[in-house]
Amino acid sequence: MSTGMKVGAVIITMGNRPEELRALLDSVAKQDGDPVQVVVVGNGSPVPDVPEGVRTIELPENLGIPGGRNVGIEAFGPSGRDVDILLFLDDDGLLPNHDTAELCRQAFTADPKLGIVSFRIADPDTGVTQRRHVPRLRAADPMRSSRVTTFLGGANAVRTQVFAEVGGLPDEFFYAHEETDLAWRALDAGWMIDYRSDMVLYHPTTAPSRHAVYHRMVARNRVWLARRNLPALLVPVYLGVWMLLTLLRRPSRPALKAWFGGFREGWSTPCGPRRPMKWRTVWRLTRLGRPPVI
């Protein structure tokens, strides 16, 4: 039964996947319970044809993933306050089940401290969930739901009260790690995050490195993430661990060059306001299985 919580959805698009976008919108329209209100943001591009009732916003320039999603949040009023829950869905994804929005309503109603839900991403052809799509260190079993410390940007639901309390996604990140930045701020404010294997988004299996800016953005934003959110003592530990992990993965010479260029950029450019998390939040992250040093 519906809990009465209002649900909205934010989808950003570059306008280059009209068929996939239409399929996604159809799957959102088929959700059980009250209709999900949808806003599609054209991130520096026109929005393809959408069904009647779907609102659209066309931005004159590409603001990046967090910037585009923030515009979508504000389309539902300041901090999204016109709805209780916002779904964030990749434009080439698909909700295969009709009860996903209703499961979100039930989850947020049952747990007043639940702030964010991360969906399980599965390949539509094989049903396989990539290890990197399970937002915890112990990721061998994607069918196990659990509390987590971050979430997947293109397949999640956020209680809009979280945005009102801690702010939106970091615009300046453009791409990569913006979810963890929001997650850490939410956890520091006392909210919890769940990974739910029964809330599924179909999405074709892809490699994140398909994006030309991947290695530079990942490195730069990792530094910004630490500078913005970690206690000073943990900043060099966290970044040192990630530098070691990057080297152990033996990226190609061009990738490594781009990575180190981004790492330097992360130290030499403004990263936004610094609000280091409390030490009790560090302990909470540790108890949840992912101390903020990895």
Report phi then psi at 53, rounded to 5: 100, -15
Neighbour order of strands in the sheet with 114-122: 55-58, 37-42, 7-13, 85-89, 155-159, 114-122, 192-202, 146-148
| Tokens, residue 72 | 């979508």
Domains, the chain, with CATH or none: 5-200 (3.90.550.10), 210-274 (no CATH)
Per-residue confidence (pLDDT) for residue 207, from 0 to 100: 72
Per-residue confidence (pLDDT) for residue 1, from 0 to 100: 52
101 sits in the region (left: phi over 0; alpha: psi -120 to 50; else beta) called: alpha
Per-residue confidence (pLDDT) for residue 211, from 0 to 100: 53
Task: Supply the pTM of this predicted model.
Answer: 0.96
Q: Where are the alpha helices (DSSP H) in the chain?
A: 18-29, 64-74, 100-110, 160-166, 178-188, 214-229, 235-248, 253-268, 279-287
**Could you give the CA distance from residue 134 to residue 149 in angstroms, rounded to a whole number?**
11
Residues in the chain: 294
Q: What is the pLDDT along the chain (294 residues), one digit of tens a residue?
A: 556 899 999 999 999 999 999 999 999 999 999 999 999 999 999 999 999 999 999 999 999 999 999 999 999 999 999 999 999 999 999 999 999 999 999 999 999 999 999 999 999 999 999 999 999 999 999 999 999 999 999 999 999 999 999 999 999 999 999 999 999 999 999 999 999 999 999 999 877 655 558 999 999 999 999 999 999 999 999 999 999 999 999 999 999 999 999 999 999 999 999 999 999 999 999 999 999 999
